[in-house]
Amino acid sequence: MICEAPMNSTTRREALILIASASPLRAQHSHQHDATDAASSSESYRPKTLSPDEMKLAMILSDLIIPATDTPGASDAGVPEFIDRRLTASESLTRSFRHGAALLPAGFATLPVKDQVAVLTEWDAHPESAGGRFFRLMKDLTIDGYYSSRAGLTQELGWHGNTFLAEFKGCTHPEHQG
Amino acid sequence: MQIQRSSETHDVVIIGTGAAGGMAAWNLTRQGMNVLMLDAGTRFDRAKFWSHVKPWEAPRRLDAGQAPPRFYVDVKEQPYLTLPGQPFDLIRVWGRGGKTNVWGRVALRYSDMDFTGASRDGWEIPWPFRYKDIAPYYDRVDQLIGVCGGDDNLDSLPGSRYHLPPPPPRCGERLIQRAAKSIGIPVVAGRRAVLTRPHNGHAACHYCGACGKGCDVGAFFNSSDYLLEPAFQTGRLKIVDNAVAGRVLNDAEGRASGVQYFDRNTREERRVNARVVIVAASCIDSTRILLNSKSRQYPNGIGNSSDVIGRYLTEQVRLHMYGFVPELIGAPVQNEDGIGGEHVYLPRFNHRDGKKRDYLRGFGMQFWGFGASNADAGFAKMLPGFGAEFKANVKKRYPALVALHPYGEVLPYADNRVTVEKSPVDQYGLPIARIEYRYRENERKMAKEMYETAASILHAAKAEILPYDAASLGIPGQAIHEHSTCRMGDDPKRSALNGFCQSHEVKNLFVVDGAAFTTASEKNPTLTILALAWRSSDYLAGEMKAGRL
């Protein structure tokens, strides 16, 4: 939702942003030249901490937690990249991730999805176990990553905030007035 | 190292450029005084704020070497001490305007219930003035900075004739307001220093909801744009950047004579002379500076013969409860950014039913973080399971999230305190602040009713309540409302300052920030800091013109 801000409060910079946001070319433009969107450019991201196998694991686990439905799932939204960034910023988080990953049954990545789900279901049911703690970590990271991504916020949740509005109308549901 | 000492004597030297220092500087320069301010940082450039950087854009910008302004002081640069098992989160902003660059903007008037609480219940001392004394200054502050709010006027929350129009409530706020009303608790329009229309040359809010990253158009009060810029225009204000104040200096007669400070980059020591010194470095840093200002006359810190400075540290006890209101589960998502924080407020009410409580003082409630005003879904961590069903659950509940945050007054205790005696020194060779702070029985008892009240409102709204730990009182410091370590009072034996923030002991020394507050109240302090600094600097100007300073 883009509205014109009143001119007396619109600086030149704001006006430029308004024009840029309103342009129908913006999406295409940003995909080609603007490397600010994790979702549109994860193919170009080079992991700093996770190995290729670990990135694949982050992809599988995050997609089990938030799968693609009628909207993108975690890996399409750039969650593995998000996880790599978080781990890069924290050695203790990296250790927790690696300890946890070692608990997975051999060949987890190639198991049928229902068997992968069974492992996570078991861990989810035992939050105090080592597996339970790893599941908690992966769930939290996936939630943080997915719901701060463009796909997670705008396509899934329907968030279209942080924009310029001339007026804030508040609740417009008729049944909540009065 | 050579100490650079300026030979010039300024009318007034002010330590700190936040709400308190900014107001004093604005008011004194317009009355003809020459003011020098020491700012521990530099000016923050609004054009570089990340107010309009979307959450998903931040990582790649950081990769590209861009960064948002560094508002917050890194504890590695300026450490402080706490005791084991007694955490205290100290949030500091060094730089032009201080914390007003990123403050919560809640602008509530204190009432006589706050100013005279101690007279009624006997706990510690009352404030040295009453609401009628400061009310004209609240009026002037509202008009100067622009505060939006309703037309309500309560014994615990006095009204204002100068409010800008309040923004309409969000969906969840309407439902919570209705639920609270159904159990007899009034929830009124919130009051915030956010411009819902252009005001005094400042732009109106454009409802982007990113106030916490700093406002890119200056549509909420900040000391730099609203006070310091007009003060510069008088030609009587100078600000020294990167000037970390160390000590207030005094002469042989015991009068304040100037300030010793250090260059934040080079660590070089410098000194400036002043006829009057105003300390406004924010509560804990002001206290540290005063306690470190030891001399032959003031072995316990300047103006601290009473041994009051550093004691009675109060913050607020703050709790959080979350739920989902049924009417909004699965509802279409609207833009709910509004003016950033909540648009409604629950004023203190625990005195109305006439029932005696097993604790003293009271609490109010704030409501930030409803529904789609969140550019995240952190609440999802508290929902069970995973997979497609979990994902659908999160989506349905996103617009229905309501958040209740009661804030309670913490009583002043002599041993909740800031000291420097047992501290190691910082990079300038000065002892760092050591904070001892813990909640007592009164806070625990009040917190019980705070939780119960939040739960009753959620029950009345028929909300699903997210799990909470009723034994948790949160981490002190996180309300960022430190006060009272250099308190005002009528009795010089029990207070450091008179009702005009003037040191009882050192007449040309003033402390005008939250440290001067006699008690905490349950309310956010900045509006009162502004009113108090205005009133105190009027007094200062009068005393100076009369030749008494």
Q: Is the dihedral of CA B459, B465, B471, B477 positive or negative?
A: negative
* pLDDT range class, residue A25, cuts 50, 70, 90: very low
CA count, 13 A, side-chain hemisphere, B138: 22
Is the pLDDT at A12 greater than 80? The verdict is: no
Mutation choice for B interface testing from A3, A7, A9 by most B CBs within 10 A = A9
Q: What angle, rounded to 10 degrees, do the helices at A130-146 and A113-125 form? A: 110
Question: For B405-442, how does the pLDDT look when each residue is reduced to its tens digit (9 = 90+)?
Answer: 999 999 999 999 999 999 999 999 999 999 999 999 99
Q: Is residue B549 within 8 Å of residue B543, measured between CB atoms?
A: yes
CA distances from B236 to A173, B18, B43, B199, B226 (A): 53, 18, 18, 25, 16
Q: Determine the 3-state secondary structure of A125 from DSSP.
A: helix
The answer to whether position A6 is within a domain reads no
Q: Are strands B188-189 and B237-240 parallel, antiparallel or unpaired?
A: unpaired
**Chain mean pLDDT for chain A:** 81
Q: Structural domain of residue A50, as residue ranges?
A: 45-157
Between CA B526 and CA B283 the distance in angstroms is 12
Q: Is A153 within 8 Å of B55 when comparing Cβ atoms?
A: yes
Res B275: pLDDT:
98
Give span(s): CATH 3.50.50.60, chain B. Answer: 1-46+80-111+218-315+413-438+483-549
Nearest CA in chain B to A64: B387
User: What is the tally of structural domains in chain A?
Assistant: 1
Size of interface A-B (CB pairs under 8 A): 163
Q: Given pLDDT bands bounded at 50, 70 and 90, which one contains residue A178?
A: low
A143 Cβ under 8 Å from any chain B Cβ: yes
Task: Return the residue matching tokens 């204002």.
Answer: B160
Residue A43's pLDDT band, with cuts at 50, 70 and 90, is: low
Please answer yes or no on whether A176 and B339 come within 8 Å at the CB atom. no
Interface contact flag, A168 B174, Cβ < 8 Å: no
**B62-113, pLDDT tens digit by residue?**
999 999 999 999 999 999 999 999 999 999 999 999 999 999 999 999 999 9
- In angstroms, how far is CA B252 from the centroid of its own chain? 36
Check residue B32 and give left, alpha or beta (phi > 0: left; psi -120 to 50: alpha).
left
Residue B228: per-residue pLDDT: 98
Q: What is the mean pLDDT of residues A29-55?
A: 65
Q: Is the pLDDT of residue B117 over 50?
A: yes
Nearest C-alpha of chain B: how many angstroms from A66?
A: 5
CATH number, domain B170-188+316-409+439-475, options 3.90.75, 3.30.410, 3.30.300, 3.10.350: 3.30.410
Number of neighbours of residue B435 by Cβ within 10 angstroms: 27
SS3 annotation, B438-484: CCCHHHHHHHHHHHHHHHHHHHHCCCEECCCCCCCCCCCCCCCCCEC
Contact A170 B170 (CB under 8 A): yes
The minimal CB distance from B338 to the residues A124, A140, A168 is found for: A168
Please state which CATH class domain B1-46+80-111+218-315+413-438+483-549 belongs to.
alpha beta
Indicate the pLDDT class of residue A38, thresholds 50, 70 and 90: very low
Sign of CA dihedral A81, A87, A93, A98: positive
> Where does chain B hold its CATH 3.30.410 domain(s)?
170-188+316-409+439-475
Whether the per-residue pLDDT at B206 is higher than 90: the answer is yes
In a domain, A66, yes or no: yes
Cβ pair B192, B106 in contact under 8 A: yes
Residue A176 lies in a domain: no
User: What distances in angstroms separate CA B539 from CA B27, B230, B445, B508, one per listed residue?
Assistant: 11, 21, 40, 12
Confidence of residue A37 (pLDDT cuts 50, 70, 90): very low
Q: What is the pLDDT of residue A44?
A: 82
pLDDT band at residue B2 using 50, 70 and 90 as cut-offs: low
Residue A36, domain member (yes or no): no
What gap in Å lies between CA B508 and CA B101, rounded to an integer?
Answer: 29
A14: chain B residues, CB-CB within 8 Å: 206, 216-217
pLDDT class of A32 with cuts at 50, 70, 90: very low
Q: Evaluate whether B516 touches B2 at the Cβ level (below 8 Å).
A: no
What pLDDT, in 10s, does the model give residues B309-358? 999 999 999 999 999 999 999 999 999 999 999 999 999 999 999 999 99
Hey, what amino acid is at A112? Answer: P
Contact criterion met (CB < 8 Å) for B59 and A166: no
pLDDT score recorded for residue B126: 98
B487 contact partners, CB below 8 Å, separation of at least 6: B125, B308, B312, B412, B495, B496, B497, B515, B516, B517, B518
Whole-complex ipTM: 0.93
Mean pLDDT of chain B: 97
Mean local confidence (pLDDT), B289-311:
98
| A92 to chain B, closest Cα gap in Å | 20
Position A29 scores a pLDDT of 34
**Measured between CB atoms, which of B343, B375, B386 is closest to A159?**
B375
B337–A168: do the CB atoms touch at under 8 Å?
yes
Lowest mean pLDDT across A2-6, B297-301, B475-479, B526-530: A2-6
pLDDT at residue B54, rounded to an integer = 97
Q: What is the pLDDT of residues A57-93, one digit of tens each?
A: 999 999 999 999 999 999 999 999 999 999 999 999 9
Q: What is the pLDDT of residues B525-546, one digit of tens each?
A: 999 999 999 999 999 999 999 9
Determine, yes or no, domain membership for A94: yes
Cβ neighbors of B401 (< 8 A, separation 6 or more) are: B172, B322, B323, B324, B369, B370, B371, B374, B379
Nearest CA in chain B to A140: B381
**Measured over all CA atoms, what is the biggest interatomic distance in chain B, rounded to whole angstroms?**
76
Tens digits of residue pLDDT in A126-136: 999 999 999 99
Compute the distance between CA of residue B308 and CA of residue B494 in angstroms, rounded to an integer: 7
pLDDT-above-90 percentage for chain A: 71
Amino acid occupying residue B6: S
Q: How does pLDDT run across B212-239, given as a tens digit for each residue?
A: 999 999 999 999 999 999 999 999 999 9
Does pLDDT of B504 surpass 60? yes
- Per-residue model confidence as pLDDT tens digits over B141-178: 999 999 999 999 999 999 999 999 999 999 999 999 99
Q: Is A36 on the interface with B (CB under 8 A)?
A: yes
Give B344's strand partners: B189
Q: Which pLDDT band holds residue A175 (cuts at 50, 70, 90)?
A: confident
pLDDT of B303 reads 98
Q: What is the pLDDT of residues B377-393, one digit of tens each?
A: 999 999 999 999 999 99
Q: Which residues of B touch A65 (CB under 8 A)?
A: 386-387, 390
